[in-house]
C-alpha cells in the first residue's frame, strides 16, 4: 500500500517539475524584470492559476478545513468575502499599481510618500514573512503530509518531532530551489499546473467524502445525512462564540481579506507581471469565480470529516489529512499528496520570491548598493532568499501546539496587514498627506495592535470586543490620524500619480459587468445558507 502511495507521489511531483522546466528553462533571469516580474509577460490564465495556488497552500487546505471541523460552515467567510476584495483589486487597486510600473508595494509608498516609508514597509514585510508566513506554510504542509502519507509508517520514524523537522526541511529546500533558481515565471507556471491537480483532487475528496457520509448511496444521500446530523453547523452566519462571528464580516474580516488580495506582496506580485491591465483584470476576476467554489473543497471536507470521525478524538488541524488518508486508494493518495506538495511549494516559493524582490529592490539596491548591476541585484536576492528559507525551516517546527492554525494565522497577520492597508489606501485616495503621516500609520498601527494582543492591561480590550472588531477600530484610528496630520501639516505640493507607460492601461470591457455578477453571487451564497 505504502509503496504505491510513494511511487505515485514521486511520479506526479516529478512530472510537474519536468513540465515546468520544459516551459521555462530558456527564460532570461539575468535581470530584475525577467526574474522578479516574469518579463511583464503573464496572461490571465497564468495570473489566475498563480493567484489561486499562492493562496491555496496547506494553511488553507489543512487550516481552513480544520476550522470548519471545529465551527462548521461559517468559516467560509475567508473564501467568499475574498471575492469582494478581488473585485476591488481589479477595479480600483490594479489600474493604479500598473500605472506606477512597480514591482513591490513599498516602491509605491516610496513614490507616494518617500524613502523612509518604503524602508519601514520593506522591513515589516520581511520580518512578517520570516516569522509568520513562511514558517506557517511549512508547518501546515508537514502536518498535512504526515496525515495523508502516514509518514510514521512509511518512513519508520516514530518520533513525531524528528519527523516534523525532516518534513519541514525537505519541503523547504525543494520550495527554495523552485523560487530562487527559477524566478517568478517558473513559480507561475508550476502554480497553474498544480492548480488543475488541486481542483481535481479537492473535488474528488468531496465526492468520496459525501458518498461515505451517505453509506455509499451517493453524494445526495451524504449531504442529506449531514443536514440531518448537524444542521446548526451549516449556518453561513457565525455565532459570537465561533471564530468568525457574522458582524466581523463587515469589519476586520473584510479588511484582512482586502489587504491579503490587494496589498499583500506575496499575492499581488503576479498581477504586477501582467502584460496589460486587461489581462490582469481578467486574471483577477477569474480568480474571483474560482474562490466562490472554495467552500466546496476548503470548508465542506472539514464538515464531512466531523460527520465521519468526530468521535475518534482527532484535532481540527488533523481532520483533512485524516480524511484524505482514509478515503483515497493508495495510488490516488500519492497523487493528492503530490498536489498538496505543489500547493505547499506554491505558497512557499511565491512568498520566498516576493521576499527576495522586496530585499533586492528595496534594501540592497535602494540602500546598500545603489549602483548595483541587474545581475548583482538578482544574485543578492538569491542569497537573501536562502537565508530566509533556512530561518523559516528553523521556526516552523516551533509552531506545534496551536489550537487552530488558521485562526492563529489570521490573528498574527492582522498585526501588519491593517497598518499597511491603511497607509496604501490613504496614499492612493489623497494628494497632500505627508510622509510623517505614513510613518505614523505603519509604526503606530503595529504598536497598537501588538499592544492590544499581548501587552497588559491593553490586551483586556479583547475581553470586551472581538479581535476583528478591534483591528478594524485600529484601522479607523490610523486613517483618521493620517488625515488629521495631512490637514495640520500637508505636503507642499500635491502628489501626481504619473503613468510610467510600463504596460497598456486599457481596461477590460467586461470587468465591471463580471464584477457585478460576482458580488451578486457572494450575497446569494450567504443568503442561501443563512439560518
Q: Is the pLDDT of residue 1 over 70?
A: no
Q: Is residue 87 within 8 Å of 518, Cβ to Cβ?
A: yes
486 vs 324 pLDDT, higher one? 486
pLDDT value of residue 3: 66
Name every residue whose Cβ is closer than 8 Å to that of residue 218 and which is 6 or more positions away in sequence: 210, 211
Name every residue whose Cβ is closer than 8 Å to that of residue 426 and which is 6 or more positions away in sequence: 433, 437, 438, 441, 479, 482, 483
User: pLDDT tens across 54-65, in order?
Assistant: 777 666 777 889
User: pLDDT tens across 425-452, in order?
Assistant: 999 999 999 999 999 999 999 999 999 9
Cell representation of residue 367: 540602500
pLDDT value of residue 176: 77
pLDDT value of residue 42: 80
Taking the alpha carbons at both ends of the chain, their separation in whole angstroms is: 44
Percentage of the chain exceeding pLDDT 90: 47
99 to each of 44, 160, 259, how far by Cα in Å?
A: 18, 50, 19
Q: Is the pLDDT of residue 183 over 60?
A: no
d(CA 91, CA 371): 36
Percentage of the chain exceeding pLDDT 70: 90
134 vs 180 pLDDT, higher one? 134
Q: Is the pLDDT of residue 405 over 70?
A: no
**How do the domains of the chain map onto residue ranges?**
1-529
d(CA 3, CA 136): 29
d(CA 110, CA 369): 17
pLDDT value of residue 420: 97
pLDDT value of residue 2: 57
Q: Is 504 helix (H, G, I), strand (E, B) or coil?
A: strand
Min mean pLDDT across 65-69, 104-108, 278-282, 372-376 is at 372-376
Q: Where does the pLDDT of residue 6 fall: very low under 50, low under 70, confident under 90, or very high at 90 and above?
A: low
Evaluated on CA atoms 499, 504, 506, 510, the torsion sign reads: negative
User: pLDDT tens across 334-344, in order?
Assistant: 777 777 777 77
User: pLDDT tens across 22-47, in order?
Assistant: 776 666 555 555 555 556 778 898 88
d(CA 186, CA 194): 12
pLDDT value of residue 19: 77
Cell representation of residue 531: 439560518
* Residue closest to 34 by CA, chosen among 42, 45, 23: 42
Min mean pLDDT across 149-163, 211-225, 479-493, 498-512 is at 149-163
48 to each of 120, 152, 274, 423, 445, how far by Cα in Å?
A: 30, 36, 11, 27, 31
Mean pLDDT of the chain, nearest integer: 86
Mean pLDDT value of segment 203-229 = 93
Q: How many helices (H) and strands (E) does the chain have?
A: 24, 0
Name every residue whose Cβ is closer than 8 Å to that of residue 494 and which is 6 or more positions away in sequence: 431, 432
51 phi, psi to nearest 5 deg:
-60, -45
d(CA 311, CA 319): 12
Task: Convert 325-336 to b/e letters by CB count within 10 Å (16 or more is b).
Answer: bbbbebbbbbbb
Give one DSSP letter per residue of 162-182, joined into a string.
Answer: HHHHHHHHHHHHHHHHHHHHH
419 to each of 90, 263, 433, 441, 450, how far by Cα in Å?
A: 22, 11, 16, 6, 11
Exposure of 230 in the CB half-sphere (CA atoms within 13 A)? 22
381 vs 81 pLDDT, higher one? 81
Give one DSSP letter per residue of 95-155, joined into a string.
Answer: HHHHHHT-SSHHHHHHHHT-HHHHHHHHHHHHHHIIIIIHHHHHHHHHHHHHHHHTHHHHH
Cell representation of residue 163: 519527523
Other C-beta atoms lying within 10 Å of the C-beta of residue 296: 16
Calculate ∠ Cα 184-63-169, nearest 5°: 55
User: pLDDT tens across 280-306, in order?
Assistant: 999 999 999 999 998 998 999 999 999
Out of 3.30.750.24, 1.20.120.530, 1.20.1730.10, 3.30.200.20, select the CATH number for domain 1-529: 1.20.1730.10
Cell 479537492 sits on residue? 202
Q: Is 496 helix (H, G, I), strand (E, B) or coil?
A: coil
d(CA 479, CA 403): 33
120 vs 317 pLDDT, higher one? 120
Name every residue whose Cβ is closer than 8 Å to that of residue 237 and which is 6 or more positions away in sequence: 74, 246, 526, 530, 531
Exposure of 311 in the CB half-sphere (CA atoms within 13 A)? 2
Cell representation of residue 426: 490613504
Evaluated on CA atoms 355, 359, 360, 366, the torsion sign reads: positive
Mean pLDDT value of segment 258-270 = 90
Q: Is residue 87 within 8 Å of 285, Cβ to Cβ?
A: yes
d(CA 185, CA 273): 9
Other C-beta atoms lying within 10 Å of the C-beta of residue 450: 14
Q: Is residue 98 within 8 Å of 502, Cβ to Cβ?
A: yes
Name every residue whose Cβ is closer than 8 Å to that of residue 66 and which is 6 or more positions away in sequence: 302, 315, 316, 317, 318, 319, 320, 404, 405, 406
Mean pLDDT value of segment 170-188 = 69
User: pLDDT tens across 100-158, in order?
Assistant: 998 889 999 999 999 999 999 999 999 998 888 889 888 877 877 776 667 777 777 87
Q: Is residue 283 within 8 Å of 45, Cβ to Cβ?
A: yes
Total-model pTM: 0.86
Amino acid at each position: 500500500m505504502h509503496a504505491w502511495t510513494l511511487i505515485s507521489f514521486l511520479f506526479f511531483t516529478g512530472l510537474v517539475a519536468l513540465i515546468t522546466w520544459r516551459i521555462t528553462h530558456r527564460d532570461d533571469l539575468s535581470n530584475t524584470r525577467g526574474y522578479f516580474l516574469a518579463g511583464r509577460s503573464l496572461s490571465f490564465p497564468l495570473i489566475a492559476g498563480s493567484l489561486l495556488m499562492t493562496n491555496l497552500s496547506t494553511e488553507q487546505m489543512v487550516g481552513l478545513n480544520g476550522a470548519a471541523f471545529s465551527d462548521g460552515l461559517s468559516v467560509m467567510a475567508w473564501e467568499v468575502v475574498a471575492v469582494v476584495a478581488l473585485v476591488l483589486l481589479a477595479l480600483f487597486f490594479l489600474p493604479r499599481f500598473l500605472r506606477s510600473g512597480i514591482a513591490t508595494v513599498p516602491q509605491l509608498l516610496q513614490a507616494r510618500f518617500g524613502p523612509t516609508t518604503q524602508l519601514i514597509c520593506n522591513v515589516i514585510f520581511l520580518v512578517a514573512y520570516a516569522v509568520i508566513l513562511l514558517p506557517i506554510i511549512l508547518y501546515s504542509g508537514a502536518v498535512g503530509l504526515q496525515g495523508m502519507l502516514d509518514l510514521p509508517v512509511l518512513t519508520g520514524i516514530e518520533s513525531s518531532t524528528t519527523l516534523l523537522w525532516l518534513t519541514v526541511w525537505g519541503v523547504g529546500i525543494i520550495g527554495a530551489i523552485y523560487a530562487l533558481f527559477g524566478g517568478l515565471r517558473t513559480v507561475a507556471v508550476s502554480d497553474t499546473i498544480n492548480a488543475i491537480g488541486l481542483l481535481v483532487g479537492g473535488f474528488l475528496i468531496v465526492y468520496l467524502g459525501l458518498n461515505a457520509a451517505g453509506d455509499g448511496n451517493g453524494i445526495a444521500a451524504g449531504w442529506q445525512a449531514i443536514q440531518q446530523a448537524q444542521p446548526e453547523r451549516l449556518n453561513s452566519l457565525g455565532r459570537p462564540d465561533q471564530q468568525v462571528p457574522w458582524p466581523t464580516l463587515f469589519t476586520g474580516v473584510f479588511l484582512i481579506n482586502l489587504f491579503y488580495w490587494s496589498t499583500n506582496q506575496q499575492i499581488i506580485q503576479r498581477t504586477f507581471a501582467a502584460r496589460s491591465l486587461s489581462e490582469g483584470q481578467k486574471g483577477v476576476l477569474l480568480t474571483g469565480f474560482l474562490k466562490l467554489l472554495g467552500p466546496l473543497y476548503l470548508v465542506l471536507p472539514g464538515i464531512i470529516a466531523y460527520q465521519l470521525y468526530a468521535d475518534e478524538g482527532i484535532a481540527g488541524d488533523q481532520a483533512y489529512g485524516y480524511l484524505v488518508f482514509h478515503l483515497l486508494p493508495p495510488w490516488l493518495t500519492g497523487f493528492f499528496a503530490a498536489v498538496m506538495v505543489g500547493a505547499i511549494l506554491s505558497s512557499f516559493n511565491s512568498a520566498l520570491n516576493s521576499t527576495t524582490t522586496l530585499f533586492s529592490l528595496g534594501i540592497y539596491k535602494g540602500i546598500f548598493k545603489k549602483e548595483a548591476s541587474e545581475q548583482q541585484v538578482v544574485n543578492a536576492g538569491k542569497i537573501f532568499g536562502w537565508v530566509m528559507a533556512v530561518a523559516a525551516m528553523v521556526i516552523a517546527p516551533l509552531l506545534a501546539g496551536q489550537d487552530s492554525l488558521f485562526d492563529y494565522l489570521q490573528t498574527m497577520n492582522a498585526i501588519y496587514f491593517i497598518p499597511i492597508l491603511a497607509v496604501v489606501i490613504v496614499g492612493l485616495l489623497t494628494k497632500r498627506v505627508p510622509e510623517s503621516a505614513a510613518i505614523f500609520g505603519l509604526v503606530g498601527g503595529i504598536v497598537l495592535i501588538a499592544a492590544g494582543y499581548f501587552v497588559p492591561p491593553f490586551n483586556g480590550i479583547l475581553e470586551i470586543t472581538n479581535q476583528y472588531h478591534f483591528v478594524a477600530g485600529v484601522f479607523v484610528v490610523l486613517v483618521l490620524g493620517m488625515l488629521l496630520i495631512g490637514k495640520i501639516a500637508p505636503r507642499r505640493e500635491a502628489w501626481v500619480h504619473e503613468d510610467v507607460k510600463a504596460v497598456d492601461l486599457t481596461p477590460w470591457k467586461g470587468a465591471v459587468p463580471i464584477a457585478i455578477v460576482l458580488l451578486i453571487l457572494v450575497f446569494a451564497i450567504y443568503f442561501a445558507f443563512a439560518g
